[in-house]
């Protein structure tokens, strides 16, 4: 029986969105979702839903790590926070995964302190699905922001972790690994890329070489490896561009009565496009390299995004991603 632990207090719309997402996930996936946080608030939210037959046990935690707090300081001082308590439940073996929409630096710190790294892994990395023109509709990109300054050997390990995630969870045989750079040629890129490229070439991974920013959505590679600074700028940049295009389009349509009708006729196509670009569909990032399944979602997640983040946790548990990485890095 899969037991996922959810930080009921984390995120801009918690606990309303988190509890709603937990109810939704428990029903859709037939799993137990443990809710960690302030009992009275969680119970009040639970009362709004029909939870008959669902497994939604409550784990009390009196404190909350807020969005603006300094991650490691907060994790050290707030021992009874939903994040620290939630990770502790996983550490104790009473749950197989921890999911949070809260302070992502805090989640990283709580996971590192509480669960530790997989033996041999130098740095955990945050991986995320990104919409692309592939069979699954996605590629897997890491690091999305856990490590802003990295060494070449970290990138090699990110590639290894991405390989196992893509193989196990995305069910891609021999996933193609690409290193994000400023050109395909080996002499392009910065000093970091120039040192990391030979490491990837010498590895057993299916390394297809360096790829440019424009190649990420084309699905040239199944796994895109980058440092957490570049990855974060890339992902947020993509989000900004998609949003700008929608804003521009809406504004131009609004100014043209015929275009308004046109857009109504094309609504089905536009809705599919929106869904494909919607981060809520894949629900959150996977923190790879720690000793346990940890999913970190967007702070602004709504109930649907929370539901899907829990699904991502379930898939990581079912496919034993942690075990695969452990065997891969030490094998």
Q: Are strands 293-296 and 285-288 parallel, antiparallel or unpaired?
A: antiparallel
Q: If DSSP codes are grouped into helix, strand and coil, which group holds residue 296?
A: strand
Instruction: Identify whether the C-beta of residue 315 lies closer than 8 Å to the C-beta of residue 308.
Output: no
Stretch of 22-30, 78-86, 244-252, 303-311 lying at the interface with its own copies (CB under 8 A): 244-252
Residues 198-217 that bind its own copies (CB under 8 A): 212-217
User: What DSSP designation does 215 have?
Assistant: G
Q: Does 186 bind its own copies (CB under 8 A)?
A: no
Omega of the bond prior to 143 within 30 degrees of 0, cis?
Answer: yes
Cβ-based nearer residue to its own copies, 133 or 153: 133
What DSSP element (H or E) covers 7? strand 3-7
State how far the alpha carbon of 13 is from the alpha carbons of 47, 51, 173, in Å: 17, 20, 38
**Residue selected from 273, 281, 299, 320 as contacting its own copies according to rule CB under 8 A:** 273
Q: Does 124 bind its own copies (CB under 8 A)?
A: no
Helix axes 267-277, 257-265, angle to 10 degrees: 70
**Residue selected from 28, 94, 272, 323 as contacting its own copies according to rule CB under 8 A:** 272
Q: Does 247 bind its own copies (CB under 8 A)?
A: yes
Q: Does 242 bind its own copies (CB under 8 A)?
A: yes
**Residue selected from 266, 323, 327, 330 as contacting its own copies according to rule CB under 8 A:** 266
- Nearest approach, Cβ of 72 to its own copies (angstroms)? 11
Q: Does 191 bind its own copies (CB under 8 A)?
A: yes
Stretch of 52-60, 82-90, 269-277, 284-292 lying at the interface with its own copies (CB under 8 A): 269-277
Q: Does 79 bind its own copies (CB under 8 A)?
A: no
Instruction: Identify whether the C-beta of residue 142 lies closer than 8 Å to the C-beta of residue 288.
Output: yes
- Buried b / exposed e along 14-49 (16+ C-beta atoms within 10 A): bbbbbbbbbbbbbbebebbbbbbbbeebbeebbeeb
Cβ-based nearer residue to its own copies, 135 or 236: 236
Instruction: Identify whether the C-beta of residue 162 lies closer than 8 Å to the C-beta of residue 138.
Output: no
Q: Does 261 bind its own copies (CB under 8 A)?
A: yes
Using CB under 8 A as the criterion, which residues of the chain lie in contact with its own copies when the complex forms? 68, 70, 131-133, 145, 148-149, 180-182, 185, 187-191, 193, 212-218, 226-230, 232-245, 247-249, 252-253, 255-256, 258-259, 261-270, 272-273, 276-277
């Amino acid at each position: 029986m899969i037991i996922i632990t959810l930080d009921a207090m984390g995120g801009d719309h918690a606990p309303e969105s988190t509890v709603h997402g937990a109810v939704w996930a428990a029903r859709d996936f037939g799993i137990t979702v443990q809710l960690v946080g302030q009992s009275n608030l969680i119970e009040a939210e639970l009362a709004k839903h029909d939870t008959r037959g669902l497994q939604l046990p409550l784990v009390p935690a009196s404190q909350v790590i807020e969005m603006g707090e300094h991650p490691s300081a907060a994790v050290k001082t707030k021992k009874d926070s939903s994040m620290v308590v939630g990770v502790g439940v996983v550490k104790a073996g009473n749950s197989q995964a921890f999911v949070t929409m809260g302070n992502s630096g805090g989640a990283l710190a709580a996971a590192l302190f509480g669960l530790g790294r997989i033996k041999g892994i130098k740095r955990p990395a945050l991986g995320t699905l990104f919409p692309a023109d592939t069979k699954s509709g996605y590629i897997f990109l890491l690091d999305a922001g856990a490590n802003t300054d990295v060494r070449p050997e970290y990138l090699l390990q990110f590639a290894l972790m991405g390989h196992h995630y893509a193989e196990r969870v995305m069910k891609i045989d021999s996933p193609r690994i690409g290193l994000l750079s400023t050109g395909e040629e080996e002499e392009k890129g910065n000093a970091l890329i120039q040192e990391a490229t030979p490491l990837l070439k010498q590895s057993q991974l299916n390394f297809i070489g360096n790829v440019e920013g424009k190649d990420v959505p084309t699905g040239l590679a199944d796994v895109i490896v980058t440092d957490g600074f570049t990855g974060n700028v890339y992902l947020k940049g993509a989000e900004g561009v998609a949003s700008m295009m929608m804003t521009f389009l809406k504004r131009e349509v609004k100014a043209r009565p015929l275009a308004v009708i046109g857009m109504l006729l094309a609504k089905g196509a536009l809705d599919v496009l929106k869904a494909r670009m919607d981060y809520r569909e894949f629900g959150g990032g996977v923190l790879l390299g720690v000793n346990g399944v940890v999913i970190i979602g967007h702070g602004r997640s709504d109930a649907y995004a929370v539901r899907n983040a829990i699904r991502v946790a379930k898939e990581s548990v079912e496919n034993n991603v942690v075990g695969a990485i452990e065997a891969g890095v030490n094998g």
